[in-house]
Amino acid sequence: METETETSKDTGEIEPLLQDSRDVPESDPNPRTAKTKVPGVEIRLYRQGKGPIDVFKSSLGGWDQNQLEVRDILEKYGLKSIYAFCTQSGRGVPIRFHPRNGRSIIGYKDGSVVHIDGEPKVISIFFQF
């Protein structure tokens, strides 16, 4: 079976009417890879209410992609526990996490800013003189 050809009027060259699939450039209109945005939060780390001593981005994990990777933060900064910290009142609430996977129990919204205190101020009424 012969391939149908067409003669160019200007140059006299013979060109095939149908392109061979091997001659097609590699610009595939339907790529097989997809880019997805990994949800994350901005973390501002304080120590005893002072700071922030560090500001960094942390990705969210878990099934719903809304849990903070608490164990990674604890290991990176050498902390025993972390507290969600309110800059206006100075109060901190412990961030509880699952001991098996190290992710927070409470979910966080993508793109939010979380203020974390690693060593909150402890004012005890028992030791006031």
Q: Are 45 and 78 within 8 A, CB to CB?
A: no
Tell me the HSE value of 96 on the side-chain side, using a 13 A CA sphere.
2
- Locate the domains of the chain by residue range: 40-127
pLDDT at residue 33, as a whole number: 80
42-to-78, 86, 108 alpha-carbon distances in Å: 19, 15, 11
pLDDT per residue rounded down to tens, the chain (129 residues): 555 555 555 666 776 666 665 655 566 666 788 788 889 999 999 988 888 999 999 999 999 999 999 999 999 999 999 999 888 887 889 999 999 999 999 999 999 999 999 876 655 455 454
85-to-76, 90, 116 alpha-carbon distances in Å: 19, 7, 5
Give the phi and the psi of residue 21 in degrees, each rounded to 5.
Answer: -65, -20
As its CATH architecture, domain 40-127 has: Roll (3.10)
pLDDT at residue 12, as a whole number: 64
pLDDT at residue 20, as a whole number: 61
pLDDT at residue 16, as a whole number: 64
